[in-house]
Structures are given as structure tokens and as C-alpha cells.
Amino acid sequence: MRIPRHVVSVTTALCLALGGTAACSPADRAVLLASACPDSTAFPAAPRHEPGQAHLIGQVIRSGLPTGPIPGWDDVVSVADAGPALAAVHAGGTVSVVGVDHEGLLAGTAGGAGQTLMPRRVPGVSDAISVAAVGSAFLVTHADGTVSGWGDSFIASGGFRGDSPVRTTPAAVQGAEEVVSVADGSLSALALRSDGGVLGWGVNLTEILGEPAGTTVRRIRDAPGAVSVSDASGAAVIATATGEVCAWGNNVHGLLGVEPRGGQTNRPVRVDGFGDAGVVQVAGGQHFALALDSAGTVWTWGRTVTGVLGDGTTDDTVLTSPRPVPGLPPLRWIGARESSPYGIDGSGALWSWGRGPVRSPEPARDARPRRVPLPGPAQTVSGALVLRAPVG
């Protein structure tokens, strides 16, 4: 069997060198022989939201920030929750931050030395359209398609290991161009380009950044036209213009949709099992993924221990075949962070299940979708930070 070099992962290349697929484990062979992601062409646009109020629905570690509306954040169009600190893009293109300055997240102060309960402006940013949180770094997408970052310098610099572990002022991510959005993540950054391509940088132990090996910004080879991209902790998951779902990286938690579980690949493979409606958006949490189809149905697969199935079970199992989440109305948007899946329905109501920032007094309820009380409709969510729609 002859396989082009650029679609062979490190693991499978070793298997082939040792004597073909017979020398691979069953999991390695399954990933190696999985269906390739069909070609497609996409031209995604940057997500746009109406200027609204940022609303905190959970606690920010050590910050003292109360839940509820954040003062001064009533004209924001994008929000990001990096754990100790929060960031927001204002309608005029500026960015401000609030919280605890872990690893330079507050920008402009010595890492770990500051804290603020009132948002303060990030210097040098005036044309932002969105912000994402990747580990301990904030990444801003600019109107011209470039990206800049601050915080953890490894992510903020585009995967370069510099002399300082912290970057306290925003600087351009070299090689990140024509970007329309960056996905929230933990160890790696995944960015969606306006031509449907996917860029990646950061930690590449699971080959989530594709090939060749390395940590700096590169375009993921053989990824078809994407309209949505997400990081599911060790695996990248995309929705394509033709309604397909494709994934690459590690399959320990079944995120590639391949049995038996295990193995990994830098080659995007097709994840099947979503029924007749095409998938329009994906989201990734801690070892699980979500997909939203054109009918508003939410599908989930991967590790299910925290109740992400939404059916009341919290067993530590793994699904390689996507399953619809019961008890939800048709949704128009989905999101996930760590063990928290989210969804927004057509009226702007926010739904949550799993181990989210808003915990029920009755733990069994967290394993089923429930509506999160808000004083107004939601537009999008990042972690415990909600962007509400304009009032009136």
C-alpha cells in the first residue's frame, strides 16, 4: 500500500517503515485507513455581533469580580474568558481586559503582578474585530485579517520559544494572515482563514498542527474548505462547506470517529454519523466535541464523563459515533469550554449542561440541558462570559 508522505503521521510512518499496516496496532491501522475528508471550497466571513453587554455567569479565579454585567462593557462585540482574566472587543475596535494578571494577560504589567476590577484598555490595539483565549494568552483578530497576541509568549508569538515566557504588550503573530476568527483553546491555536483554510501553532504532540512537525504557524495540509473550526483537546474538528465534519490529531477519546480508539494522524479524516442535515458549526471542549446541524440539532461525541451527553448520565465512557443531545430546542449557536457545553436558541436563550460555571443545587440537573437565567438574549459565550444582545 503506497501512501503519500504528506498524509502520514509519525506513528503510521513508523508502522509502514516496519513492514506496512500489518506492523501497526489495530488503532493505528484504523486511523491510517479512515476515510479522507472530501474536498470542498469555502469562503467564511468573520463572525459579527451587535454591540452588547458582557455578562459574567461564573466566578473568575482570585479576581473578586462578581457575577452579572461587567461595568464599562456595554458596547462590546466579542468576549474571551482566559480563566483569571477576561477580554472584550469594543465596537470601535479597541480591546480592554479585567481580572488577574496571570502570565501577562492584563497587558502592560509585569506578569502575575496586577489585578483590576475595572476594565482597562490594552495599548496598541484599535482595529480588532474579535478576541479568543488560548491557554494563558489572548489572540486578537484584526480587520485586515492579521492576528496579534499577548500573555503566554509561546502562543502569543506564534509558537516561538523566546527568551521570556510572558509577553506583556500585543505583537503580531507572524504568518497569521487572512484570518477571520481564532478558536478558543488550551495548548494550541487554530485559526480559520477567509479562503476556508486552517492555520495552527503551539503544542503539536498530538499532530493537531498537521505536518511537518513543529510549533510555529503553518497551514494544515489537506484540510478542505472549513466554515467552523474548534479545538477538542488534542484533536482539531472542523465543519466544511458541504456539511461534513472532519477531524485530525489524537483519537484516544474517539474524536476522529474511528474504532478502535487510539492512534493519531495529521491527516484530516471524515467523521460520520450526523444524519441527513448538514453540519454548520462545531465546538470543542475537554476531550469532547459538539456539532450543530442545519436543523438546529446538537450532536456530541468523545469522552462523556461530565454529563456532556445531556441525557442524565455521567458515566466515564467514550463515544466514537455522534449522538444527538436530547432536551434542547433547535439551536442557532453552540460552544464549549473544558467540561461545559453551551447552546443559544432562536430566541437568544442560553442553554448549558455538563460541568458548567453555573452549577445546579441538584447535581443531577447538570447532566441535562437547562436554561441559564439571563436578563436578556445571548449572542455568544466564551467560558463563563456571555455577550448579550443590545437592550431595547
**What is the structure's pLDDT at 1?**
30
Q: How many domains does the chain have?
A: 1
Domain range for residue 315? 34-387
From CA 275, how far away is CA 256, in angstroms rounded? 17
Q: Do the Cβ atoms of 375 and 386 come closer than 8 Å?
A: no
The verdict on residue 5 lying in a domain is: no
Task: Count Cβ atoms below 10 Å from residue 47 Cβ, excluding itself.
Answer: 17
Task: Name the helix (H) or strand (E) containing 364.
Answer: none
The verdict on residue 392 lying in a domain is: no
How far apart, in Å, are the Cα atoms of 260 and each of 26, 27, 38, 382? Answer: 7, 5, 22, 33
Cell of 313: 448520565
From CA 173, how far away is CA 216, in angstroms rounded? 10
Task: Give 270's contacts (C-beta < 8 A, 6+ positions apart).
Answer: 34, 35, 36, 37, 38, 244, 245, 246, 257
b (16+ CB within 10 A) / e for 28-42? bbbbbebeebeebeb
Which pLDDT tens digit goes with each residue over 144-183?
999 999 999 999 999 998 888 999 999 999 999 999 999 9
The verdict on residue 310 lying in a domain is: yes
**What is the structure's pLDDT at 321?**
96
The verdict on residue 172 lying in a domain is: yes
Which pLDDT tens digit goes with each residue over 84-134?
999 999 999 999 999 999 899 999 754 445 888 899 999 999 999 999 999
Helices (H), the chain: 10-17, 26-32, 153-156
The verdict on residue 356 lying in a domain is: yes
The verdict on residue 184 lying in a domain is: yes
> Residue 280 sits in a domain of what CATH number?
2.130.10.30
From CA 314, how far away is CA 180, in angstroms rounded? 36
From CA 392, how far away is CA 388, in angstroms rounded? 12
The verdict on residue 234 lying in a domain is: yes
**What is the structure's pLDDT at 12?**
52
Q: Do the Cβ atoms of 200 and 182 come closer than 8 Å?
A: no
DSSP classification of residue 135: T
Q: Per-10-residue mean pLDDT for the chain, 392 residues long?
A: 40 53 79 93 96 92 86 97 96 96 82 77 96 98 98 96 90 97 97 98 95 93 96 97 97 96 95 95 97 98 92 92 97 94 97 79 75 95 95 67
From CA 333, how far away is CA 365, in angstroms rounded? 22
Say if pTM beats, i.e. exceeds, 0.85: yes
**Residue 49 CB-half CA count within 13 A:** 32
The verdict on residue 280 lying in a domain is: yes
